[in-house]
Amino acid sequence: MKAATKYEVIYCHSTKYPVSIMCKFFGVSRSGYYDYIKRRELPSCNTELAELIEECQKNCGKTYGYRRVQIWLERKKSLHFNAKTILHIMNKYG
């Protein structure tokens, strides 16, 4: 079983049982669990970036690659993103 699945089960039952006991039962560290909770609650800007990329692709007829999308975002929207971040989002959302 993946650690993320174990952390999710612990999170669901954290109101009933102590976190430290559940972490020992599942064989995961408490610090790993709390790191997972922090990551889980962070708002993701990926959806906003995906919407901007989609807008760019509509404007250009889906001919721009990640490098040209990055330039478009910088020139038209005054937003700066790493090229690899844009590539990752384009691969993830199609």
d(CA 68, CA 62): 11
pLDDT exceeds cutoff 70 at 43: no
Q: What is the pLDDT of residues 11-27, one digit of tens each?
A: 999 999 999 999 999 99
**Predicted confidence (pLDDT) per residue in 26-42, tens digit:** 999 999 999 999 888 76
Model pLDDT, residue 90: 92
Domain ranges within the chain, ordered by starting residue: 3-41, 46-93
Percent above pLDDT 90 for the chain: 79
* pTM for the full predicted model: 0.57
